[in-house]
């Protein structure tokens, strides 16, 4: 009887040991599987990161190549009897262009500074319309336009020279030297100048573009180039509605306008008389070139923006005034 009890006890002990060993094995296997999964995820993340960095570098190279191609084309235009490259479709007066490369392309926006509103010369009523297009109510738009005109205008007397705005900022009473200087003008904000992001009731993020891309201090013109101006800038012209501005943008894609009067011949509607003094086809020697590099089969994009001043002749045909990486384009 004792031997039977002993045998039973030993059997139960071995069963417990076997159960414990099985648990240890299961835990060990589970840990190994977890480690393998973690290592696999880490490797996948590293591969995706490396791929992204590679494609981003390639897209950036394409964007740079687009800027260089545009600079060369503008600085050294081909003679009239010279055959143009079939890879270069842009022509003077056009805002958009594409430079094809092996494995990708660079999408360009070439904006002559005459296609922007010059802060030092644009009339107040045109500024008002531009501000209203950004959602400002008419009263606030008028106040901001008047403040900008006052800022850039010489003081009329000693009292005005010393006057201080309600915000505590003394009016500069001199021409603007940069767009950033407008942030010192009473009523101007970073949201108006650079844009902002808004979240709608559905939780979607909407990007509101600022007016910076339609302003300049480099053209020296009070008029707006009809070929290079954006739809928003065209809409700031008195008498110009959104439909007419859109029609101009669509029509000029095929062939730039040679004169302002040509608009009436190519579009069903005629330009209002009040809009004529605000428009021109004249250009200046400064371009803003926005180039976005795109790789075939990749969603990665890189964008650069260069402001370039050109000289018609001489050893130095161009000078880069500014360069910004990862700029947004339309």
Which pLDDT score, from 0 to 100, does residue 85 have?
66
Which pLDDT score, from 0 to 100, does residue 18 have?
67
C-alpha span between 321 and 315 (Å, rounded): 17
**34: confidence class by pLDDT, cuts 50, 70, 90:** confident
Residue environment code for 151-172, b if the CB has 16+ CB neighbours within 10 A, otherwise e:
bbeeeeeeeeeeeeeeeeeebb
Q: Which CATH number fits domain 122-213: 1.10.1760, 1.10.40, 3.30.499, 1.10.260?
A: 1.10.40
- In 3D, which of 145, 152, 184 has the Cα closest to residue 165? 184
Parse the chain into domains and list their residue ranges. 122-213
Q: Is the pLDDT reported for residue 309 higher than 90? A: yes
Contact 228, 96 (CB under 8 A): no
Q: Which two tokens stand for residue 289?
A: 């070139």
Provide the whole-model pTM. Answer: 0.78
Angstrom CA distances, 196 to 182, 211, 309, stand at: 17, 11, 30
C-alpha span between 133 and 3 (Å, rounded): 100
Angstrom CA distances, 190 to 64, 184, 186, 195, 211, stand at: 28, 10, 12, 7, 10
Q: Please list, in sequence order, all residues whose beta carbon lies within 8 angstroms of the beta carbon of residue 149, skipping any fewer than 6 positions away.
A: 124, 127
Rounded to the nearest angstrom, the gap between the alpha carbon of residue 35 and the centroid of all alpha carbons in its chain is 44
More confidently predicted of 90 and 158: 90
The length of the chain in residues reads 330
| Average pLDDT over every residue of 137-153 | 94
Which pLDDT score, from 0 to 100, does residue 158 have?
55
Q: Please list, in sequence order, all residues whose beta carbon lies within 8 angstroms of the beta carbon of residue 133, skipping any fewer than 6 positions away.
A: 232, 235, 236
∠ CA 82-84-90, nearest 5°, is 135
Mean pLDDT estimate for the chain: 84
More confidently predicted of 279 and 198: 279
pLDDT in tens, 310-328: 998 777 889 999 999 875 4
Q: Is the pLDDT reported for residue 196 higher than 90? A: no
Which pLDDT score, from 0 to 100, does residue 328 have?
46
Q: Which helix (H) or strand (E) holds 206?
A: strand 205-209
pLDDT in tens, 40-54: 777 677 777 888 888
C-alpha span between 82 and 189 (Å, rounded): 49
pLDDT in tens, 155-194: 876 555 545 555 556 677 889 999 999 999 999 999 999 9
């Amino acid at each position: 009887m004792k031997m039977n009890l002993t045998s039973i006890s030993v059997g139960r002990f071995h069963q417990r040991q076997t159960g414990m060993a099985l648990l240890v094995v299961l835990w060990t296997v589970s840990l190994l599987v977890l480690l393998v999964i973690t290592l696999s995820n880490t490797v996948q993340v590293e591969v995706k990161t490396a791929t992204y960095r590679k494609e981003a570098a390639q897209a950036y190279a394409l964007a740079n190549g687009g800027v260089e191609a545009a600079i060369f084309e503008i600085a050294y235009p081909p003679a009239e009897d010279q055959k143009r490259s079939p890879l270069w479709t842009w022509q003077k007066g056009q805002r958009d262009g594409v430079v094809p490369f092996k494995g990708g392309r660079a999408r360009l926006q070439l904006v002559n500074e005459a296609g922007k509103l010059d802060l030092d010369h644009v009339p107040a009523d045109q500024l008002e319309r531009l501000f209203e297009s950004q959602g400002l109510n008419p009263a606030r738009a008028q106040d901001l336009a008047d403040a900008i005109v006052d800022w850039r205008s010489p003081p009329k007397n000693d009292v005005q020279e010393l006057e201080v705005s309600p915000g505590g900022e003394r009016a500069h009473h001199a021409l603007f030297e940069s767009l950033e200087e407008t942030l010192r003008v009473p009523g101007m904000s970073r949201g108006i100048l650079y844009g902002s992001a808004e979240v709608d009731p559905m939780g979607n993020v909407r990007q509101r573009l600022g007016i910076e891309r339609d302003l300049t201090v480099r053209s020296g013109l009070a008029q707006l180039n009809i070929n290079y101006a954006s739809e928003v800038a065209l809409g700031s012209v008195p008498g110009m509605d959104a439909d007419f501005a859109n029609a101009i943008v669509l029509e000029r894609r095929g062939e730039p306008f040679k004169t302002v009067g040509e608009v009436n011949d190519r579009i069903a509607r005629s330009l209002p008389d009040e809009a004529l003094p605000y428009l021109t086809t004249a250009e200046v020697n400064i371009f803003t070139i926005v180039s976005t590099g795109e790789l075939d089969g990749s969603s990665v994009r890189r964008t650069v923006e260069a402001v370039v001043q050109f000289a018609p002749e001489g050893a130095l045909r161009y000078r880069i005034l500014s360069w910004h990486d990862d700029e947004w384009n339309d």
